[in-house]
């Protein structure tokens, strides 16, 4: 569980740095936090510009993808803004199937990440 939380936090921070070029307002809820909300919900990241929320972002790890998380995606996808789900690259096909099977096509976008270690 510690490794999963650590991975989650690293990905959130990397995304914050990368997305700060396109979004001027980025709110982050680290694992277990409920600091910033959108319509009384607490996604991992809330992306906005000029006072308007444009997207919600959820970071998933191999261990966190579950029926409970899929239910959260369903709730987030109905809040009227884009939902982006970031998943490990090797799980993109599985998550795509889950999105299709749960009626979330057209309501969500999938992004991927991978942690690569290169040795000389």
User: Is 65 within a domain?
Assistant: yes
Residues 58-70 pLDDT 10s: 999 999 998 899 9
* pLDDT range class, residue 75, cuts 50, 70, 90: very high
User: Is 119 within a domain?
Assistant: no
How many domains, in total, are found in the chain?
1
**pLDDT score of 94 more than 90:** yes
Q: Which helix (H) or strand (E) holds 27?
A: strand 25-28
pLDDT confidence of residue 5: 84
The per-residue pLDDT of the chain, averaged, comes to 93
User: Is 52 within a domain?
Assistant: yes
pTM: 0.90
Strand partners, 16: none
102: CB partners within 8 A, 6+ apart: 70, 73, 74
pLDDT confidence of residue 1: 54
- What is the rounded average pLDDT of the residues 32-36? 90
User: Is 94 within a domain?
Assistant: yes
- In the sheet that 52-59 helps form, which strands lie side by side, from edge to edge? 25-28, 45-49, 52-59, 82-88, 108-113
């Amino acid at each position: 569980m510690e490794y999963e939380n650590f991975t989650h936090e690293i990905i959130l921070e990397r995304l914050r740095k990368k997305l700060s070029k396109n979004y001027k307002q980025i709110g982050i809820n680290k694992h277990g936090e409920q600091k910033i909300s959108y319509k009384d919900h607490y996604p991992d990241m809330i992306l906005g510009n000029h006072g308007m929320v444009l997207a919600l972002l959820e970071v998933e790890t191999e261990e966190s993808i579950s029926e409970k998380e899929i239910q959260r995606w369903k709730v987030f996808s109905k809040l009227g803004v884009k939902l982006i789900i970031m998943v490990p690259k090797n799980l993109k096909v599985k998550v795509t199937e889950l999105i299709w099977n749960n009626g979330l096509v057209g309501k969500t976008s999938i992004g991927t990440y991978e942690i690569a270690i290169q040795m000389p």
